[in-house]
Structure 1
Amino acid sequence: MRHTLECSRCVELSVDKMKVYKNEEFTLVNAKTTYRMQPQRSLALFLCVSVTCFLLILAGILTICFSKDIYESIMSTQMVLKPDNSAYNMWVKNPVPVSLTLYMFNWTNPEEVYNKSSKPRFEQLGPYVYRETKEKTDIVWNDNNTVTFKNVKKWWFDQEKSKGSLYDPITSVNPVTLSAAHALRNWHVGFKMLFSGSIRAIFNNIYSTHSVGEVLFDGYSDTLLTSAAKMSLLPKGMDKFGWFYGRNGSSDFDGIFNMKTGVDGDLGVLEKWKFADHTGFYPDQCGEFKGASAGDFFPRKLTKNSVIKMFTSDLCRYMELEFYEEVVINNIVGYKFIAGEKFLDNGTKIPENKCFCDGDCMPSGALNVSNCRHGSPAFVSLPHFYKADPYYLDLVDGLNPQEDLHQFYMVFEPTTGIPLSVAARLQLNLRMAPVPGISIFENVPTAFIPVLYFEQKVDIPDQMTFMIKVLINFDLICLLVGIGLMVVASISFLVVFYTMWSKKVFRKKRQNVHIVRAPAQEEVPLNH
């Protein structure tokens, strides 16, 4: 750029002499080289972009380097039970729809019970499906990082999903009479003969027929049960008999639970049941449940050598599930744990399980839960005696165990310990055996009478699989996010830098200024 400075009339004043330079013109030539800079606003913008890009690159590096620490921080925050977090909302009320499916066993030849050449024969009826809800109530948060609560379960019969109705007749061994005979089996023969006469006066047979609804939830009246209730020989509320009678909507049936909240680790581990750390139903270590899950949360970082220990109030004891195989559910690899020898054996293969027999050990496959069921000769097995000793199937006819229908399993995502699929299946059996001195039972065969089995099959909803996939791929996600931040920051910086460079913000430009001096003019004194 050429700059010309013209002055048509210049005046110079001094103290002693004042002169006037008139008509002096000049042009600047060969001035020093100068630089032109962008305004401050552009420089500030570039500085902000540079700092932002640097921070994004730093964030990307830290995300990659500390991905495991970030994961553990998230898990330790979410896997703690507090009144205001998401884990609590899912725990206090089960968000996944659950159904209780029941199958009943109908005794088809009860009149042949005294025929030595005939086995008790059964046919399976059902399914009878009930919609189920489960909520926590009477919740108390304790200072020792535990929470105390009760379970409230409610059931509604679902006729559309059921095969049959609640009015279907079911014939089975009379559980009240059988339980009474079992309780008196070791009494003096005189007392047993007296009881035998009373039984003969009330009942003609050891079996009875009632509707499905009565046998399950509604209950039915029984003369012997009514008499025992009047004499205060039974717990309050047992005025009728039904396998689930008085349980629908009850907050007391399952008992009071106390479990860890996860603040000190071990989220969901049962600390006390009914205010005790020992069930009292089984001796020694078999009555303990230390380290067992209360049934809502399970351990993380599972391996194929892990054993899932879970307490169930229906059995008054814990179950142990062992690894079986890897499976894939919704593109997620899971570990399948099943009820195997650790749960079903009675001391034959696993000596420490012998205390579960409570002095009445049977072959592997049927667990003695008599103490948990008011002294009734009740035994629990897998449906159709699946995985049980052949001894049990040889005593009856009509049962056909199958793995896909009768296996008890839980599939866990091993990193998070979240259940992906559950099929909880157990069968209730009553042991019928000769009782000398009680005529109605003296000549009966020994058999484990299947009464019913339940199934609760739940698969994780599709909307929850996304969260699990995020958790198990967290390291990869952090790597991609970190690389993405660094790439975006680098590209953004280069684009801004190139833009400013192309606009010559940082380039110098030479400025040549010529000076042209005009001829001297007459000097004229200033008149006073």
Structure 2
Amino acid sequence: MGCDRNCGLLAGAIIGAVLAIFGGALIPLGDYLINRTIRKQDVIENGTIAYDNWVVPGSPVYRQFWFYDVQNPTEVMNGSRPILRQIGPYTYRMRYLPKENITQHPDYTVSYMLPNIARFEPDMSVGSENDSFTCINLAVVAAPALYQNSFVQILLNTWVKASKSQMLQTRSVKEILWGYEDPFLKKVPYPMEKKVGVFYPYNGTFDGLYRVFTGKDDISKTAIIQSYKNKSTLSVWSGQCDMVNGTDGASFPPFVKRDQILRFFSSDICRSIYGIFENEQIVKEISLYRFTVPRAAFASPLDTPENACFCTETVLSKNCTASGALDISACKEGKPVYITLPHFLYASEDVSKHVEGLSPNKDEHETFLDVEPTTGFTLRFAKKLQINLLVKPVLRIEALSKLTESYIFPILWLNETAIIDDEKAAMFRTKVTGPIKLLNLLQVLLITVGSVMFLAFLVSYFICTSNKLSDKGVPM
């Protein structure tokens, strides 16, 4: 009996060791299986999980708008600082149509167009599209930047006065966003576009042509943009700043690491930008990495030398010392449009000091992407931007002649958001994160149980052997 018992204990220890070893062996085997599955399913090719979520947005995309209502219009038109009050949100559903003109190419790329469409969501808004407010006059303020000849500006002044236009105007949400016929432009006796709007034209237009790598030949290039509008550069900036880098932000190559820099391109701001890891998030029981756009992305070249190629020598900052403001007039047909973060977050004082009523807040006004690290899919994001016009004194145009200095005038800020819906999240947990968690749990369980069995049975074996020898009077 003693021998049988000892043999049983020894066998139990051996079984435990085998289980622990098997659990340890599952780690590289599991990593291999996960790697192989992701390499297959992350490719942008018909029949994969990535393709199904790529063609049609996997989550509803909303764009919320907050408008800046000028509280002291008479004083502003006489040269005083504007006092602004935020009104919003006014919410639209965006990007809910599938990509169009999808074409697979033999060099492992796929091209497509993004349809632009916006549908007002009254239940998610503070009012209607017809709500009006006092804001900058888009046409009057932009005209001197487009036409700098002295004689032409005298003519512009005649038409501005004839239309009774001023530096400020009262317009509705719908007009400012999507366009309206401007009274001043209607007076101009030359063939030109008479409608203006922050996003005019938008509905019924397309963004692209995009061409991205499918990842079939190299998974590390999945979703990275090869070209935009058939070019790899924008012809807007100089040097590296002009490159179209990264993805469109909807997804990234799989196996994302915390120390990575995630680069993505945004046509809204005519440049590529980047995010750095900030923390971990849990969204609908899915573990994600949060990447945020850092202060350095909009910093002055004095603080971030690589931003020097985003510099434009303007009346705002003669030596490119201002931080937090990006002049994108070169890609807006010369209109003096500046992009900042909402409420001038991270902007230097020479940008923010000219207006009152703004309250920058990192948590509220920061852009972030929450990325599932194994697949590289972005399952939640918030892209936040503020759109501004540069206003400056123009002596030949009466409506602008009383200004005392040039400054950036905020029009609105937006928050474009999306979060994976419940159905997609359930599918993602079932097909992606669930099996990975199960495999990891099995590895830990086998190693733990095997190690405990091995130690328990081995200790019991030695105790039993020791007791048996002691009973026989064998000296120890």
The reply to whether TM is greater than 0.5 is yes
Q: Which residue of 2 aligns with 1:354?
A: 308
- Among 442, 451, 456, which residue is 2:401 paired with? 442
Q: Give the partner amino acid of 2:163.
A: I
1:176-255 equivalence runs, <5 A: 176-185=139-148, 187=149, 189-217=150-178, 219-226=179-186, 230-232=190-192, 238-250=193-205, 252=206, 254-255=207-208
Kept in 1: contact 2:380–2:417 (CA 8 A): yes
For the residue of structure 1 that corresponds to 2:180, the secondary structure is coil
Q: Give the partner amino acid of 2:271.
A: R
1:421 and 1:204, CA in 2 relative to 1: closer, same or farther beyond 3 A? closer
Tell me, in whole angstroms, the C-alpha distance in 2 between the residues paired with 1:68 and 1:347. Answer: 43
- Among 291, 296, 308, which residue is 2:262 paired with? 308
- Among 455, 465, 473, which residue is 2:437 paired with? 473
Tell me, in whole angstroms, the C-alpha distance in 1 between the residues paired with 2:164 and 2:254. Answer: 55
Q: Give the partner amino acid of 1:434.
A: P
- Among 272, 277, 284, which residue is 1:323 paired with? 277
Moved more, 120-129 or 203-212: 203-212
1:160 and 1:114, CA in 2 relative to 1: closer, same or farther beyond 3 A? closer
Tell me, in whole angstroms, the C-alpha distance in 1 between the residues paired with 2:60 and 2:238. Answer: 37
1:435 and 1:99, CA in 2 relative to 1: closer, same or farther beyond 3 A? same
Aligned residues: 418
Kept in 1: contact 2:23–2:444 (CA 8 A): no
Tell me, in whole angstroms, the C-alpha distance in 1 between the residues paired with 2:441 and 2:161. Answer: 74
1:27-66 equivalence runs, <5 A: 66=29
For the residue of structure 2 that corresponds to 1:152, the secondary structure is strand
- Among 414, 420, 440, which residue is 1:460 paired with? 420
Long gaps (5+) in structure 2: 1-20, 315-319, 451-476
1:129 aligns with 2:91: yes
1:374 and 1:478, CA in 2 relative to 1: closer, same or farther beyond 3 A? farther
Displacement of 1:316 in angstroms is 1.7
For the residue of structure 2 that corresponds to 1:255, the secondary structure is strand
Tell me, in whole angstroms, the C-alpha distance in 1 between the residues paired with 2:415 and 2:244. Answer: 24
1:411-430 equivalence runs, <5 A: 411-430=370-389
Q: Which residue of 2 aligns with 1:270?
A: 225
For the residue of structure 1 that corresponds to 2:43, the secondary structure is coil
Q: Give the partner amino acid of 2:162.
A: A
Kept in 2: contact 1:321–1:342 (CA 8 A): no
Tell me, in whole angstroms, the C-alpha distance in 2 between the residues paired with 1:148 and 1:211. Answer: 37
**TM-score, length of structure 2 as denominator length:** 0.80
For the residue of structure 1 that corresponds to 2:135, the secondary structure is strand
1:369 aligns with 2:345: no
Displacement of 1:125 in angstroms is 1.1
Q: Give the partner amino acid of 1:473.
A: K
Displacement of 1:475 in angstroms is 4.9
Long gaps (5+) in structure 1: 1-57, 233-237, 487-528
Kept in 2: contact 1:101–1:130 (CA 8 A): yes
Q: Which residue of 2 aligns with 1:491?
A: none
For the residue of structure 2 that corresponds to 1:334, the secondary structure is strand
Q: Give the partner amino acid of 2:242.
A: G
Q: Which residue of 1 aligns with 2:459?
A: none
Q: Give the partner amino acid of 1:453.
A: W
Tell me, in whole angstroms, the C-alpha distance in 1 between the residues paired with 2:191 and 2:116. Answer: 30
Q: Which residue of 1 aligns with 2:46?
A: 83
Tell me, in whole angstroms, the C-alpha distance in 1 between the residues paired with 2:408 and 2:229. Answer: 31
Displacement of 1:134 in angstroms is 3.8
Displacement of 1:424 in angstroms is 1.2
Tell me, in whole angstroms, the C-alpha distance in 1 between the residues paired with 2:213 and 2:446. Answer: 36
1:391 and 1:144, CA in 2 relative to 1: closer, same or farther beyond 3 A? same
CA RMSD of aligned residues (A): 2.9
- CA offsets per residue over residues 208-259 of structure 1, 9 Å max, x none? 1111111122x21114444669535xxxxx4422223331132x3x121010
For the residue of structure 1 that corresponds to 2:133, the secondary structure is strand
Tell me, in whole angstroms, the C-alpha distance in 2 between the residues paired with 1:337 and 1:321. Answer: 5
Displacement of 1:482 in angstroms is 7.9
Tell me, in whole angstroms, the C-alpha distance in 1 between the residues paired with 2:293 and 2:83. Answer: 27
Q: Give the partner amino acid of 1:301.
A: F
Tell me, in whole angstroms, the C-alpha distance in 1 between the residues paired with 2:416 and 2:350. Answer: 27
Kept in 1: contact 2:392–2:400 (CA 8 A): yes
Tell me, in whole angstroms, the C-alpha distance in 2 between the residues paired with 1:478 and 1:71. Answer: 14
Q: Which residue of 1 aligns with 2:467?
A: none
1:349 and 1:201, CA in 2 relative to 1: closer, same or farther beyond 3 A? same
Kept in 1: contact 2:58–2:421 (CA 8 A): no
Q: Give the partner amino acid of 1:371.
A: A
Displacement of 1:170 in angstroms is 2.0
For the residue of structure 1 that corresponds to 2:202, the secondary structure is coil
Tell me, in whole angstroms, the C-alpha distance in 2 between the residues paired with 1:61 and 1:427. Answer: 52
State the structure with more CA Rg. 1
Q: Give the partner amino acid of 1:322.
A: I
Kept in 2: contact 1:334–1:411 (CA 8 A): yes
1:74 aligns with 2:37: yes
For the residue of structure 1 that corresponds to 2:343, the secondary structure is helix
Displacement of 1:163 in angstroms is 0.4
1:420 and 1:204, CA in 2 relative to 1: closer, same or farther beyond 3 A? closer
Q: Which residue of 1 aligns with 2:133?
A: 170
Tell me, in whole angstroms, the C-alpha distance in 1 between the residues paired with 2:243 and 2:154. Answer: 39
Displacement of 1:331 in angstroms is 5.2
Q: Which residue of 2 aligns with 1:235?
A: none
Q: Give the partner amino acid of 1:377.
A: P
Tell me, in whole angstroms, the C-alpha distance in 1 between the residues paired with 2:23 and 2:72. Answer: 75
Tell me, in whole angstroms, the C-alpha distance in 1 between the residues paired with 2:344 and 2:153. Answer: 32
For the residue of structure 2 that corresponds to 1:245, the secondary structure is coil
1:261 aligns with 2:261: no
Q: Which residue of 2 aligns with 1:282?
A: 237
- CA offsets per residue over residues 34-82 of structure 1, 9 Å max, x none? xxxxxxxxxxxxxxxxxxxxxxxx9999756522211111011001011
Q: Give the partner amino acid of 2:231.
A: A
1:227 and 1:196, CA in 2 relative to 1: closer, same or farther beyond 3 A? closer
Kept in 2: contact 1:348–1:364 (CA 8 A): no
